[in-house]
Amino acid sequence: MKEIRKILVPIDFSACAMNALKIAASIAKIQRASLEIVHAVQLPKELQVDVMAGMVINTPVLSEMEIEVEQEFQILENEIPDLCDLTYKTTKSTASTIDLINSCLEENPYDLIIMGTKGRHNIVDRLLGSISADVIKASNVPVLVIPENFKSFHVFRMGLAADLKRLDDVRKLDILTLFSEMTKSEIKAFHISQKKDLKNKGEIIQERMKIMDAISKAKHSYVWIDEGELTDGILEFVESHKLDMLVMFPRHHSFWDKIWHPSVTQKVVMDIQVPLLAIPG
């Protein structure tokens, strides 16, 4: 990837989402990219029940909701002036956020998804995971998640959490190099070793060399961390090295793995205090 040309931004008009859109606009301005801003119209619970029961949606109610969304779209430029300098379109749909994003990905080629996350606020988040984590799992393009407390995209140090498992296409790392060039930031690649690493030492060394070669155009370094718990280790590395952004490769797990071993990426999404760039593994 030599450039970012098209960015998808899901929003719900919350402060968190608007903050992510502001950062998306600033990135698009630098990259001369276009934005597609999408909103999933959420039906009231009583209407959702009607739909599940096969009943027709109350058209006037739905029309009123869509009008409200259009009004929100129309004032975006007042709240985010950078949009005035960009090519962008707005899309609304009566669907879940995940379904809307999947539909967009099927119909259009995007280079990046940018969205906000509120992190771990309540028991529902702990049990179900955030929408951002669900998007990361479903997306076939990189996803940049912006925490609600991160107000401007000033990045000086990026951390690449490398699991050193086989990466078939190193070109997926091009977006990392692009971000490094765009922000003039350093890349700190790190690996938290596990017991099984001793059995695959040759493969691990090979993967490390592939990664280092792929990011060689950027200022970079590599850190090997002795055995530790993955999620806590990643978050501790981010904090101790004062990283401004974290990069990870979500891996697709089997059904049973998802139940018994919650995704490290999902848990990091819930607690991370800096932007997370998730590159499909």
pLDDT tens-digit series, residues 78-125 = 999 999 999 999 988 888 888 899 999 998 899 999 999 876 655 444
Claim to verify: residue 144 and residue 13 sit in the same structural domain: yes
User: How many Å apart are CA 152 and CA 244, to the nearest integer?
Assistant: 11
Mean pLDDT, rounded, for 29-38: 95
Residue pair 132/172 in contact (Cβ under 8 Å)? The answer is no
Claim to verify: residue 199 and residue 124 sit in the same structural domain: no
- pLDDT tens readout for residues 142-201: 999 998 888 888 999 999 998 887 777 888 889 999 999 999 999 999 998 877 666 677
- Domain boundary at 152, 169, 191, which? 152
Claim to verify: residue 144 and residue 79 sit in the same structural domain: yes
Mean pLDDT, rounded, for 202-217: 88
pLDDT at 175: 93
User: How many Å apart are CA 107 and CA 3, to the nearest integer?
Assistant: 20
Claim to verify: residue 147 and residue 160 sit in the same structural domain: no
Claim to verify: residue 129 and residue 194 sit in the same structural domain: no
Claim to verify: residue 122 and residue 2 sit in the same structural domain: yes
Full domain range(s) for residue 260: 154-281
Q: Is the pLDDT of residue 45 over 70?
A: no
Q: Is the pLDDT of residue 54 over 50?
A: no
Claim to verify: residue 145 and residue 158 sit in the same structural domain: no
CA nearest to 35, candidates 45, 43, 44, 23: 23
| Structural domain total, the chain | 2
Kindly report the pTM of this predicted structure. 0.86
Claim to verify: residue 219 and residue 129 sit in the same structural domain: no
- Domain boundary at 108, 123, 152, which? 152
Residue pair 261/269 in contact (Cβ under 8 Å)? The answer is no
Claim to verify: residue 86 and residue 142 sit in the same structural domain: yes
Give residues with Cβ within 8 angstroms of 51, minimum separation 6.
Answer: 43, 57
pLDDT at 62: 64
3-class secondary structure, 247: strand
Claim to verify: residue 127 and residue 260 sit in the same structural domain: no
Claim to verify: residue 148 and residue 206 sit in the same structural domain: no
- Domain boundary at 110, 135, 152, which? 152
Greater confidence (4 vs 253) lies with 4
